[in-house]
Amino acid sequence: MSLHRLASGVLLPGFHGTAAPDWLLKRVADGLGGVVLFGRNVVDDAQVTTLNAQLRGARADVVIGIDEEGGDVTRLDAGRGSEVPGNHALGAADDVGLTRAVAASIGARLAACGVSLNLAPSADLVLTLEDPVIGVRSFGSDPEAAGAHVAAFVAGLQSVGVAACAKHFPGHGASTVDSHAALPVLPRTHEELAAVEFVPFRAAVRAGVRSIMTGHLVVPEWGSAPATLNPLAVRVLREELGFTGAVITDGLDMKAVGGDLAEGSVRSLAAGVDALCLGGEPLDDDGLRWLVDSIVAAVESGALPVERLEEAARRTAALGAPATSVEAHDPSLGLVAARRALEVRGTLALSGPPVVVDLAVEPSIAVGDVPWGLGPYLAELVPGTSVVAATSADEIASLAAGRPVVVVTREAHRHAWARELVSSLVTIGLDLVHVETGVPGPDLGAVARVDTHGGSRVSLRAAAERVAAATRTTPPSERQGEHR
């Protein structure tokens, strides 16, 4: 195999458009490893199926990857919210059988669309409430419990022929920096990581996970290079955790890597990484040519052994095989799981149709915009519900005019203005229900709090059902039973 084809074979770029451009189809035919799909490439399942058929028409074993974690990170449902709850909700429900079933349902849907690799699940832990990038993408804070759910997710996804990817090794849990914007340094020793953060990754390896994604994370004991560029990190994966599958980079265009994209690509390969994820910023034909030429030049100069490139291309190619049979996925399973994940604190009882205020915060890059919300679901279930936009306690009190208020937050503990606004509403003495859609933080004093453990559309629907069932004017025929 030529050096240019080998170099192409380790690249997984993103691209613009909802149909495959001609230059991309030619690249795939000539050996491009694969692509990663994002929300910008998706209209609906039928369109994605057609797009992937185009790609597989160019080469049947092309790797087609996507970030379909469920919950807050979704590409197939980017415009309307995921049909399944995310990891933190599944961790709250704490039923590994349910987690496996949800993952299998996601996988069946992806397989039907022609996707071969799902960049999920997140095996990171919640070790600080100040983590800005993982949050509800994690199954929780307990290493063993999270590991059991990671293993179940991997097993469910791969049971329908879609490769799983446990991420982001060695684990974002203790970080307070978003690697999309800067380079996090983990305040952890190797010994601490081995006892805590590695546990879910070990569980994934035991479950047969076919790929693991490195995080752009510095472990001081391993040197100054982030794990993606660090040979020691890959050595730990191979030798200490016993992983034999493909190692994939997190997006090499993220600011945590810094520097030249071509340099980062060569350094990742030299460190022992196999597949290079390049999807955040779409590449065109010229950009791919530049990367391929840079990798070839590194081999020719002796900076990158050809044997290393051959190994990486071989492991990447193994992720391209499409599912041999496609099972029907269960679109109703997600709402069942979301209902079981709900947790209610305090006394949930509304005297009448409420005023709903959604305190929108800046979304993370991984999640993107969240255009759906709780208000429309509650308005559907409780006639007379008002959905308002307001940013001050006095304004909300005026709009409520004595009615109950439902305030929706996303990790209020991380956003001072949202935390202070909820506290002010409590001080005013409103009949207040606080719906928290992120990782639950400290109680802010509302009469009742509903924790959804995620912002998927099914999680918000489940919360609306619970609030509606506790609202005096809700007809008995519409009341939902207790779910847990």
Bridge-partner residues for 73, per DSSP?
A: 70
Backbone angles phi, psi at 202, to 5 degrees: -60, -40
- For residue 142, the SS3 value is coil
Going from the C-alpha of 237 to that of each of 131, 201, 245, 247, the distances in angstroms are: 24, 9, 10, 9
Q: Is 126 helix (H, G, I), strand (E, B) or coil?
A: coil
Selection from 258, 262, 234 nearest residue 248 by Cα = 234
The strand ranges marked E within 94-142 are: 117-118
Asked whether the beta carbons of 380 and 471 are under 8 A apart, the reply is no
String of DSSP letters for 292-331? HHHHHHHHHHTSS-HHHHHHHHHHHHTT-PPPSS-PPP-T
Residues annotated as part of the active site = 180, 250
The DSSP call for residue 239 is I
Pairwise CA distance, residues 247 & 19, whole Å:
28
Q: Is 239 exposed, middle or buried, given 0-12, 13-18 or 19+ CB atoms closer than 10 A?
A: exposed
Burial 291-308 (b: 16+ CB within 10 A, else e): bbebbbebbeeeebeeeb
Q: How far is CA 408 from the centre of its chain?
A: 21
Which helix (H) or strand (E) segment holds residue 56: the answer is helix 45-58
Q: 228 is written with which tokens? A: 């993606």
Report yes or no: 138 and 92 within 8 Å, Cβ to Cβ: no
> Which of 462, 433, 479 minimizes the C-alpha distance to 342?
462
Give residue for tokens 């947790």: 343
For the chain, the straight-line distance linking the first and the last C-alpha, in angstroms and rounded, comes to 56
